[in-house]
Each structure stands twice: as C-alpha cells, then as structure tokens.
Amino acid sequence: MARLQRSSPAQDGFLLPLSTAASLLLMLSSLSLQAVALQSRSQVIASQRLRQAEDQLMSAAQHLVADPLTVDQLPSRVGEAGQVDSAAYRLVKVEGPSWQEPAEAGAPQRGRAVATLELLASAEQPLPLQAAFALELMRQAAPEGLAPAQLVSLRELGLRGRPAAVGEP
Amino acid sequence: MNLVEILVASVILVISSSCSLQLWASSTNSAEQAERRQHQLGQLEIALLGSQARLAALAAQPVASDCADAASWLVGHLQSQPLGAGLSREVSAEPGAALVRVRISAPEVGERQRWLSPAAYGLCGPTEPITEEQTDATL
C-alpha cells in the first residue's frame, strides 16, 4: 500500500510547471488580443481627428471664397490669413487659373485653379496641415470683353501632408 | 505528485483563466465599440458629403444675387434633405453672413461640422438669379 501512495521521482513537480505554462499562454494570448483592440481604438480616434482637420480645412476654403467678387484676385491673396470658428488658416499657394478655349463662340469660358491652404497649429491640432482645393471657374464672353470670373465648384483634392514635406520631390 | 502541488497548480490555473476571460471580454467589447464608432463615422461622412454634393448639384444656378439671401435659402434646402437613421443635423446661418454651418452629430462619435458657402458653387453673385420656377424644376 505504502508503495502505491508514493509517486515516482519523475512525476514529482510535473503538474506545477504545466499549469504555470498553460497560465502564461492564456495570459499572453489575451494580452495580445487586448493590445490589438486598443490599437484599433486609437486608430479610430486618429482618423476622427484627421477628419475634423479636413472639415476645418474645407470650412477655411469655403470662408476664403465666400465673397464672389474676390475670386479674380485670389492669386494676389496668397499669404492671407483668416479664421473660421477656432481654426486659423493661411492661403499658401494658388496655381492658375488656367482657361480653356470655349467649344463654340459665345459659350462661357471654363477655367481651373488650385489653391493650397494651411491649417495653423492649435491645441487640437499640434502640427499644421495643408490641403489643396480645385476651383472650377466660369466667365461669360461679353461684347465689351470677358466678364468677371465666377466660381462654380470647389472640390477638395486631399491633404498635402506636413508643410515640411510639401515642395519636396 | 502531492496534494499541495495539485492545489497550487489549480489555483494558478483558475486565477489565470479568470483574468484571461476578463481580458477577452473587454477586448471583444472594445472591438465591437470600435466597429460601431467606425460605422457611425462613415455615416457622418456620408451625411456631410451628401450636403456638399447637393450644393455641387446646384452649381452655377444662382438663387439670389446677395450671398446672405442665398445662404438663408440654402439653410431651408439642406434641412429638407434626407438623413441617415440615428443622426441629427443642424443647419444654420448667421444673419447677414454668407456662410452656412452644417453640423451633423451621432450619439457615440460626437459631431462633425463644415461651413459651406453658396458663392463657392456659383449660387450667388453679380449674375442674374434664375426664377423660383426654374429653381424648382431643376431640383
């Protein structure tokens, strides 16, 4: 009887390392799952911030062209700063406008310009962001010459990255 | 193998299993929440771009020569557009201002807002405005 109750030396201490290894495995797997969940959460928050910055840039572009009489003077307004709500912005660059020849005589002439705006750094957005916007223009041919340009569409061309990266090849 | 070893091993296994289960539950909750938030962010984006697309569809059809008048017309027009379930929209224009604020909010992700200008889509300006009948026909 006494021989039956005594375990062999090989069996001694077998259960403890096994359960420790199994516990470690369980903890590691659940911790890695938790890390993935936290990462996806922070990605959602980051994308939310980026979208808010895009909204502010779009609002800035709309604010910039809110006066229809100043569309013609846009290239001379480079460097101009403004503010919409709490977001301060600056017009960095204007390319164009380039005008197409009208398809038929008397038809309005269509043109295109690209304006780059910079959202200045703030508490919400620690680094400045830039975005480009395409402006579709139209002007009527009048007997006394061309009428002033009228803006017919404003489209966002997307973020242009950090200002330091802008202009690099 | 003695009783003490069995007991200690069991305690270790039970504690780690319970911790692990809690972490799994919290990860699953967090993943579900992130997915819901992502979905709502997408809905907000659709609603906001929908308002902007409405303006782009009206492009170059002036509704008023004065941009402040066009802005107040636009408030009513955008307010009447359909909106996704679970979202709320607020469209407003300050008196005399030529900008319209579109603010769309969802319960979990907060709100997004954009200022839109009727002048950016050729809805106001020095050209002759089209008549109300023409505007209605194009909508």
State the sign of the Cα–Cα–Cα–Cα dihedral B57, B61, B64, B65: positive
Q: Which residues of A are less than 8 Å from B10 in CB distance? A: 19
Give the pLDDT confidence score for residue B13 in this predicted structure: 92
Q: Is A67 helix (H, G, I), strand (E, B) or coil?
A: coil
According to the model, what pLDDT value does residue A66 have? 80
**Coil vs helix vs strand at A48:** helix
Q: How many angstroms away from the CA of B57 is the closest CA of chain A?
A: 9
Band the pLDDT of B137: cuts 50, 70, 90.
Answer: very low
Distance from CA of A166 to the nearest CA of B (A): 25
Predicted confidence band of residue A21 (pLDDT cuts 50, 70, 90): very high
Lowest mean pLDDT among A29-38, A98-107, B121-130: B121-130
First CA to last CA distance, chain A: 86
Determine the pLDDT at residue A67: 75
Helix (H) / strand (E) containing B14: helix B3-57
**Residue A81's beta-bridge partner residues?**
A90
Interface contact flag, B60 A33, Cβ < 8 Å:
no
CA nearest to B125, candidates A149, A5, A94 = A149
The pair of structure tokens assigned to B67 is: 């941009």
Q: Which residue has the tokens 């990255």?
A: A161
> Between helices B3-57 and B67-79, what is the axis angle to 10°?
130
pLDDT at residue A166 tops 60:
no
Distance CA B135, CA B112 (A): 29
Per-residue confidence band for A145, with pLDDT thresholds at 50, 70 and 90:
low
Answer whether B60 sits within 8 Å of A152, measured CB to CB.
Answer: yes
Q: What is the pLDDT of residue A79?
A: 82
How far is B33 from B108, CA to CA, in rounded Å?
A: 9
A100-104, B10-14, B54-58, range with greatest mean pLDDT: B10-14
Q: Do A41 and B34 touch (CB under 8 A)?
A: yes
Q: Does a structural domain hold residue A89?
A: yes
Q: Taking CA atoms, what residue in A is nearest to B19?
A: A27
Name the minimum distance, in Å, from the CA of B78 to any CA of chain A: 16
Task: Answer yes or no: is the ipTM higher than 0.95.
Answer: no
Supply the range of the domain harboring residue A136: 42-159
CB B119 within 8 A of CB A65: yes
Across the interface, do B116 and A31 touch by the CB < 8 Å criterion?
no
Asked if the bond preceding A97 is cis, omega within 30° of 0, the reply is: yes
Q: What is the mean pLDDT of the segment spanning A87-93?
A: 86
Nearest residue, CB atoms, A30 vs list B2, B10, B20? B20
pLDDT of residue B25: 93
CATH number at A145 reads 3.10.450
Which residue range forms the structural domain that includes residue B78?
3-138
CA B67/CA B75 separation, integer angstroms: 12
| Band of residue A43 on the pLDDT scale cut at 50, 70, 90 | confident
Q: How many domains does chain A have?
A: 1
Residue A24: is its pLDDT beyond 90? yes
Q: What is the domain count for chain B?
A: 1
Q: Say if the Cβ atoms of A29 and B127 lie within 8 Å.
A: no
How many CB atoms neighbour CB B61 within 10 A? 16
Distance linking the first and last C-alpha atoms of chain B: 84
Average pLDDT, chain A: 79
Confirm whether A70 is domain-assigned: yes
A161 DSSP 8-state letter: -
In the prediction, which pLDDT does B22 show?
A: 93
Tens digit of each residue's pLDDT (9 = 90 or more) over B18-67:
999 999 999 999 888 888 888 888 888 898 888 888 888 887 777 777 88
One-letter amino acid identity for A96? G
